[in-house]
Structure 1
């Protein structure tokens, strides 16, 4: 099966308006991850490229490891709250989902390089620091619901369109094993005579009158990365680092679109209007592993100023995917009818590479301000399978390059207590119809002896999205979704 056909099927329940018909959703879903971070860096808008001296450097700019003068360990649990508001056919709904995960766990080992006797101990290579870190870089947890009363069309029209498009003349039913064949076998569509000369037949929906429609989607999973990194300190002016990232992903999605209404079907050879309930179910389970390389440098021309640059290679994934689609139908006073197909396959994904830069200005012991900028070209993402390049024209046509910006500040209120705030904008990869993701963040930190605690709250506005439960052309019904997320991060750490 062509990968573009199967991934195109995924888009039926979440088909973005004004995108391409064979929009490859997984390429964008698994390419929009962010560097994992401690609560401190999350609080300043995730703008950690030039900061250094934070365990987030392991998965962001490994040159920042060169700033450590002690070994350090921390772990960061997180709470994620998803809120999705929907509007469909004049009906408003809201759905939520909560999850708790491990966001970050990192350790760095400090090793000072001894200078020759009599040499200036502030010049040359001063330290080599090695870090190991786990980061959660993406969360897929959410529930999405929308529904209403539809008197204009129904999903039977979609099944009928598929049957008419793929029907082999002379056959009395659609091609065996297809979705439209399942719909035909469950009497949701039938072949009708059009009363034309010469005689012609076409498939039509058996549904009569208005139908109640309800779409429910439940999604779980995420992406994570394990990094091995090192950082060097040269003369307290130049800091260099590199990291190997080992990535993994897991994505599970169950989409159920249910219609209730009346259908005109044959009962004992006679056409009868019969109440029915039918559900179209799409189930996707995806897992994969990949790797990438990070290179970074930070320059400190004067004590107050730090300039950072970083490069992240594409992540090369090998992905196993199982997609299934099924129709369950029950007519009044009859047994449940259920049938469908499974489509397992394996493919490769190459995500875009990333270039980043950052500035940080320190105001003595009172704090700092910082800002980051990233460049990615999502149209460079590539899918392939069985040695074939696949059909990547949809990616080139539908995606674009983006610039992501992040900035924040930290202020020392008293000797051991810090306040932080930040803001970030993640550009939409879509050429048309997309919205930027905007994140506001704030938090505090407390240091005592060799221990520290940091707490951060983030509010993410993912913007609005237009989706379609099925596609029948100009009369397709659409739902408007508005997504937002409230997250809390807590970091506990120790220096040793």
Structure 2
């Protein structure tokens, strides 16, 4: 089980303005990360802002609103690769920096099998259940790739102040009267590497049996943090959709999910260390995390056409129930100008269960031979995210209740049929931030083109995604928390190649 090195108060976490202190090793942050995703879709639907609940007739319906596959009148299949470019700008203690990363992935592969329902001879072939279609799809629903860097000069605190705070909260006195620190804990590593030291008994309270610790680092340090992450979430979906009288479409879907998240985070600090005669030093706090998980969910959807050109859609997605394993290595490595370098690491293996929130959505679409206008809205209550199966899950669920909120996600787009075979598309979407104290909504602008020729089609889409976040590594009581303010920008290109058969 991963050890929680400290139980930071909600006030301290809130002071971090959107970022848990990394050293607290709280699973709540990962739980929200894995609960925030975009439905998998084709390039066409991504171009109209990923708004597809009411449109139907697109392979995106398999993983979105399954009622949409009831609108198919032929079988169809497609594949969608993606190309991604990410850039993160940062501001930390008045200093600006940036970092970037490029990658490519397989985003979507889908197939729908059209199945016309036989009607009795002489019956009205436009009434009753007309078709019952089936669909399979693979979708990449979340990307975790990021390369971020920030650096600056801190004149108010050192991470060694945080190590000393941990030591003051965790040390105990053995039978011989010596202060003992927990084996493998961060504060013990810091003590062994001369970053903190015991300053004797608590003089303000002679009856206090615990020793006091303080930082060995002189005021004024250079600090930097590097974050490199990769991986993503994907769904394999199985859906069924039916058509009733060309008016009402219904659908049911099952999803089998997968998580792969890898992250390496290094917080570096350099300055003057007082213990060894004012020698200079550099110390790195390192975290390597590998998280894997599998889960399942279900979806129920309806689309109704009150008029031929109007479609109304409703989609309900159950929580995803995950089983997750987490392997984290955490440690400190310190180099001194006048002494040999030192490093200590601890490995933690954890297994836990995650239940993500329900997702309830609706949409409207106006469709004609000249194109379409579509819009979706989602409601997600992140406070219902729930963790279980490990020591400390009650603390994490408490943090989720206190720090997160419900959000409304809005998406919309337009498709214009320019010629018989050529289409232009554009869209916009806002995904609300799950944090109560952060207004870092994710905003997406999209545009694309499409070309149809016979039974084949090609769609291309560009999306620009922007959001912001705050990242804090440590928090010391009574001192300002050093926060890296990050501005993320993702430039993505999607290509869908499809055919009807």
Q: TM-score, normalised by structure 1?
A: 0.93
Aligned mate of 2:50, from 32, 46, 49: 46
Q: How has the CA–CA distance of structure 1 residues 289 and 208 changed in structure 2, closer, same or farther, with 3 Å as cutoff?
A: same
Tell whether 2:406 aligns with 1:401: yes
Q: Show structure 2 runs of 5+ residues with no match.
A: none
Following TM superposition, by how much is the alpha carbon of 1:274 offset from its aligned partner in structure 2, in angstroms?
1.6
Name the counterpart of 1:17: 17
Q: Identify the residue that residue 446 of structure 2 maps to in structure 1.
A: 441
**Counterparts in 2 of 1:289-300, with a 5 A limit?**
289-300=294-305
Match in the other structure for 2:105: 101
Q: 2:135 aligns with which of 131, 138, 142?
A: 131
In the alignment, the residues of structure 2 paired with residue 28 and residue 395 of structure 1 have an alpha-carbon distance, to the nearest angstrom, of: 8
Question: Is 1:112 matched with 2:122?
Answer: no
The match for 2:144 is: 140
Shift of 1:479: 1.9
1:358–1:372 Cα contact (<8 Å) kept: yes
User: Residues of 2 paired with 1:387 and 1:478: CA distance?
Assistant: 29
The answer for the alignment partner of 1:269 in structure 2 is none
Please give the residue correspondences for 1:177-326 in structure 2 after superposition, counting only pairs within 5 Å: 177-193=184-200, 196=203, 202-266=212-276, 272-326=277-331
Task: Check whether the contact 1:65–1:129 (CA below 8 A) recurs between aligned residues.
Answer: yes
TM superposition shift of 1:196: 4.9
**Counterpart Cα distance in 2 of 1:461 and 1:195:** 50
Q: Is residue 13–residue 255 contact of structure 1 (8 Å, CA) maintained in 2?
A: no
Q: Which one of the candidate residues 410, 426, 429 is aligned to 2:431?
A: 426
How big is each residue's C-alpha offset from its partner over 1:6-26, in whole Å with a ceiling of 9 and x where there is no partner?
8979xx999842678776201
8 Å CA contact 1:63–1:297 kept in 2: the answer is yes
**Quick check: 1:461–1:483 contact (8 Å CA) kept in 2?**
yes
Contact 2:95 2:152 in 1 (8 A): yes
Q: Which residues in structure 2 correspond to 1:334-353 (within 5 Å)? A: 334-353=339-358
State the Cα distance separating 1:484 from its structure 2 match. 1.6
Distance (Å, rounded) in 2 between the aligned partners of 1:35 and 1:76: 14
**Which whole-Å deviations, capped at 9, do the CAs of 1:471-494 have from their partners, x for residues lacking one?**
113322222211121111110101
Residues 29 and 15 of structure 1: CA distance in aligned 2, closer, same or farther (over 3 Å): farther
Post-superposition offset of 1:118: 1.2
Aligned to 1:89: 93
Asked if 1:494 corresponds to 2:487, the answer is: no
Measure, in 1, the Cα distance between the counterparts of 2:75 and 2:387. Answer: 41
**Deviation of the 1:407 alpha carbon:** 0.8
Q: Distance in 2 between matches of 1:318 and 1:341?
A: 24
Note the residue ranges of structure 1 that are not aligned, 5 or more in a row: 267-271
8 A contact 1:15–1:466 mirrored in 2: no
Deviations 1:48-67 (A, max 9, x none): 00011100000001111111
CA distance in 2, matches of 1:397, 1:89: 28
Q: Deviations over 1:119-157 (max 9, x none)?
A: 111111111111000011000000111011223321111
Conserved? CA contact 2:40–2:141, under 8 Å: yes
**1:30-55 deviation digits (Å, cap 9, x = unpaired):** 00111100000000000000011100
In 1, the alpha carbon distance for the partners of 2:420 and 2:221 equals 65
Q: Does 1:174 align with 2:178?
A: no
Note the aligned Cα RMSD (angstroms): 2.4
SS of equivalent residue, structure 1 residue 390: helix
Matched pairs, number: 487
What SS does structure 2 have at the residue aligned with 1:407? strand
More deviation, 197-206/221-230? 197-206
1:256-285 C-alpha deviation (Å, 9 max, x unpaired): 01112221224xxxxx22221111001111
* Preserved CA contact (<8 Å) 2:19 2:472: no
Secondary structure at the counterpart of residue 115 of structure 2: strand
CA distance in 1, matches of 2:221, 2:59: 55
Tell me if the contact between 1:47 and 1:406 (Cα under 8 Å) persists in the aligned partners.
yes
Residue 467 of structure 2, aligned match among 462, 475, 488: 462
Q: Is the 1:367–1:411 contact (alpha carbons within 8 Å) kept by the matching residues of 2?
A: yes
* TM-score, with length taken from structure 2: 0.92
Alignment partner of 1:159: what SS? helix
